[in-house]
Every structure is written in C-alpha cells, then in structure tokens.
Structure 1
Amino acid sequence: MEDGNKFIEVRDLHVEFDVRAGIIKAVDGMWLEINRGQTVGVIGESGCGKSVTARAIMNMVPKPGKISGGEILYHRKNKDTGEVTTIDITKLDPDGEVIRQIRGGEIGMIFQEPMSSLTPVYTAGTHIYEAVSLHRLVPVKKVGDQMVETIMTYRKVTKQEAREIAIDMLRRVGIPKPDQRVDSYPHQLSGGQRQRVMIAIALSCEPEMLIADEPTTALDVSIEAQILDVMRELQHSVNMAIMFITHNLGVIAEMAEEIVVMYMGKQVERAKVVDLFYDPKHPYTQALLRSIPKIGKRGERLATIEGMVPDPFHLPTGCVFHPRCPMFMPGKCDRIVPTNKEVASNHWASCLLYEEV
C-alpha cells in the first residue's frame, strides 16, 4: 500500500498497569497496521489486551494504566489539500485539543458495555457528544440532545439537520420509532437498544476509522446483520477503516480482511483472513479454530484449550502459551521468548516452531 493509504501504525506498543499487587503488562509488544478502507479483526480470549490496545489508540488508557513504550502513528489527511501529516498519539496530551479533535470526528469507538456507557439521567441523544468526544457524561441531557451536539461538533450542519441525522442513524441501527426514542432516557431502553444507541453515536459523525469493541454482543442475529451492513455501507461511502474486536469468529470471517490474534498482551499471529482460517500457524490459533462447533457433528465433545489463562502477575517464562500448548518443547518453549517471524507470505507468527524460518 502507498503511504497515502496508511491510517494507523501501532509499533511495539506496551501498556502497563501499576497496581498494589505488582505490574500488569496488559499489552506487551503489539504491532498493528490499519489502512484506509480496510477492516482488521482482533481476536483472543478475554483479558488478552484487545480492548486496552483500542483504548491506547484513542489515548484513553484508564489510570493507573499508562503507555510505557512504543508508538501509535496516526497518518492524518487534510480533507481540503490531501496533505498527510503523521502524529504519534502516545505523545499527545490525553485531555488536549488535538486528541479531542481526533476522538469521535476522525476516530470513533463503539464501547463494549452500553450499560456503563449510558447514564440514567440522560436521554438517548444526550450521550453522544460526551461519550464520543469526552468519554464521560455530565447531567442532565437526553439521548437525542447529545447526539445532536456531537454531530454539530464534527459536521457542518444546523441543529435541525443534526437531529434528523440522529433520528436516521437510530433508524438504521434498528431502533423502533426513532423519532420518539431520540428523546428517551437509557432506563427506558432495553440492553440491546442501548448497545444500538452506542453504535449510532460512533457512526453519526462518519469517522475515518471505527474501533468496534464487541459491537454486536448484546444483539440478536437479525439486528447484528443489520448493524454489520450499516458498517460496510459507511466504510464504502467514506473509505472508513475498521478495527473489529470480537469473540465471534464467524463475524470476523465475514467482516475482516486481516486478523490479529492476541494472547496475554502479545500478538501471536497475524495473517489475511483466508490464510488464518485455512492454514493457522500458531498452536493457540489452531486451538481457537478447533473449538468452533461443527454443524452436523452430534455426540462429540467440543474441543477445548487445556489449562487456564495464567496469572498476569506471575507469567510463565519463555513463551507465555507453553503451559497450555499441545506442541510444547521442554527446555525450549519454557526458556526462550519467541519473536514475530514471517512464516509465509504476509503471514506472521510468534512461535519457536518457526525459529529457523
């Protein structure tokens, strides 16, 4: 890809949480590249660092966490001149004017838990400006009001036009009677409707990149398909990049062009979606794919990954996956830390099985 197509480059990212019991390395050497118009999926078990990576890109790592190393290069394109300037997001003031311009208007995010993202003293529209731009809510506004404020902040429209955009976006994400629901409070909405409001919040400003953190977890399959269609439509219309975080391998196979697999804060494999599903290289990825239920196979036990995710305060030496790995090599995997190697064309894996490649 040409440099003009690059959007975000995450280089050797490290995020740590210094808590009373010790230091947790939530993200430990993450490499990621997302181009304009591209969808990159990020998968892995809970606690592997997916959401922390997303928050680091937004420069929103909650305290006592901090970005302790690496770069997050944002290739910002001027819409008028087409000139591209590179900004290291890790160097920006988390509360500064530059990052506040980037959040919401240029990089939007669908947060994982709508129950904690929306406050009961706000109606649906009230939440949008604070949730996307400031990432906190202040009383007292409606759901629709906050959507309107956000849209007017990042798009050159009147208040009435912004309200119409908000209602249309609520309609597109499957909210019934959106012209009425726009003035509702969160306690008047179901959990799935709250999730759809958060999706509408992130999409309403037509960001150049969308970070979707488990965006369809609380939704039924028909609404999920509708949401994914809206994302694709917006992606094609504004050449939007998408970072899609999920546990649903079926959705990721449908949405993503490239997949990154994480385990205990580390990137263990990265490949094009077809290559990763048909020829996974890392034992952890192979185990994840084996655990998918197969249609028509009755009476067989589902495949599982042996063992448990290790204690983050006492990580195993060598490869962190070795205590659970079926291909464990004693004296090697428990001593040597693997590095990312290109094991096939545009296919990277962090495993000692490929150290000679």
Structure 2
Amino acid sequence: MHRGVAFSTDDTEDWGLPLAGPGLLLDVPREGPWARRPSLHLEAAPGYRLRVSSGGQPLLWVRIDGYWDRCGFLRGTPSMPWGLPSLSAAEVREVTHEPGSPRWWEAWMWRLGRSLALPEHPVLHAGRWCLRPVKAIRAAESERYPVSTMEWRFGQFPFSPHSPEGVLRFEPFWVEDWTAFGPPWEEGTVLQGALVPLRAPSPEDDGRVKSWRKRARDGTLPPALVRYVDLLGKWLVLDGHDRLHAALLEGVAPPLLGLWPVLEEVLPSSPEGQEGVMRSAAHHLRAGATPSMIDRVNRMLRLNFQGHRRSTVTRAWPVKGGLPTWRAEVLAWHRWNPFPVQPEDWAWFVAERP
C-alpha cells in the first residue's frame, strides 16, 4: 500500500506574482506510482533541446539558443493522455460559494488538487508543489527574457501569466526572438509569462464551449489549470482550454489556478547583512511611515530574516538517445506532417551542432 499525496495550506506570503487567494501545498511521495516519470513531463538533451511528453507522446519539441537569443517550438501530438477527469455539470453546480471568494477558490483547489493526486496518469512528480489562484496581468506589465544565461538564476519565482488569447493560436512551428529590446507593447517583443495551449482550440459552436460561455456570463466559470515551466518562462494549459476560450468569447478575465514545483532553500545567516537591512528599514520609516511604506518595509524584513526561501525549478529527465534522438524525431515529424517554415529558422532548429 503506497502513500498518497498530502495536502497542506500554502503559507508563502510573497511568491512575486499577483495572487487571487490562499493556496495549497501538495507533497508527493517518492514511492509507488510517484517514483517513475509522470505522464506529463519535461525531457532535456544537450544544447538546450527540450521535449514535453505525455504518455510517451511528444507534445512540444523546444530549442533554446546557446546565447539565449531565441527559442523555437515545434508541436507534436496534440492529444492529452494525462487525462485529468472532465468536470461534470453536477460538479460545477455543487460549488455554490460566491465566485472569486476565498471559499470558492478553496472548493475548486481541492477538486482540481484531488484530480492531480490520482496516480493513473500523474502530472506530478515526487516532491512539493504549489497550487494557487493567480491573476493574469497585461502583457505590457510582464518582463522580458534574460539576454544571456548569466542572467538566469537557479530558483526563481514564477512570472505572472498573461495573454490568455494565446490558447487560440496553435501554430505547428514558431521561433521567438528573446533579444527584442523594444517597449513591451511593440510587435515582436516577447515577454515571460505567456500561456501556451497543449491542444488546438475547439470550434466556437462546440457544445462545451457554448456551455462554458453561459458560466462565463454569470461569473461561475471554473478556473483553468496552468502549469509554470521556468526554463521557458511560460505557463502550459493543463486543463480548461474550452473554459479559457469561453471567457475570451465573452470578454471576461478567466480565473486561473497556477501549479508549479516548489524548491525549498535554506538561507545562510548574515549578521552584517541583517544589520544593514535594519538600518535601511529605519531610514525608510523616518522618511514617512505611510501604510504602503510600512508594508514594503515589512516585506523587506521578512525576506531578509526568514531562514528559508521558496522558489520554483522545473525538473527534466534526459532524452533517451540524447541529441541524435531528439533531432531524428523532429525531422521525421516534419517529413510526415509537412507545414511551411522559414528556411533559416528551420535550419537553426534542426542543426546538428549543440
């Protein structure tokens, strides 16, 4: 008899992104069905070649440039074998709390959390995860990608999700320029935190889309589940493609439940640094102890005096066969599923050199 997933309240006060309510921590054991790769997981090969797979089927092949200049994406099989159970009308009606209230979020977190804890087609691997309501922001409020690997720090906060309209775009292949330095609103500027669908959108006249549109209009639309992948700086839509589509059609902000693995770090004590923080806090408070300034000072003190820090790091397994296997899969996929590409982009994406 194997242990199951343990649930507890997320007491992290500052995840660095706008939150819509309290959260849950999911502690996944290291034995039983959780000891193997989950159905949905990330794999890596040399030269920043990545593959998102589910049930043995590639969903995305990804290449990041060695200088962090660009990133290419190739879509694979668009099915979702991890199989989170579909929400029934009866389950939706059971949640009678005021939409957006803490009790409403709690009810949906527990429902989707229990679905994630099912061992049949696991999405979670061993370790700790956070499941928490997150707010989508305007794309212009997000941050650009780092200009080199030297700016990428191991263990960061998730970036806020934005651009839910991305679920309606399902290009077979695209390359992003991560060096664009224009204003965030300029075309071509790529920002961290975008939502990426894992399947094509349903037609507008699909029955489930129509049903969810009614829920979107009356404010009772259940949240979509999105998972953060820190190396890509993006959120993958795990569940709720049709709910997101319905919200967009109705012009309402879709409720989002964010999921990310948690890295626990023990922070070394620094008496000299803490003394400097205290002097800085006193200086700011003398300048004007407004409510907002007090909140900022308290946040600074918490961050510098806590003994540990929580962040996120996406775990990846090695691609069996390494770069040759990754490259052979990509070439075979394009051969059997032809689609137009820019020759220069494709030549870079499939190049043999790391």
For normalisation by structure 1, the TM-score amounts to: 0.24
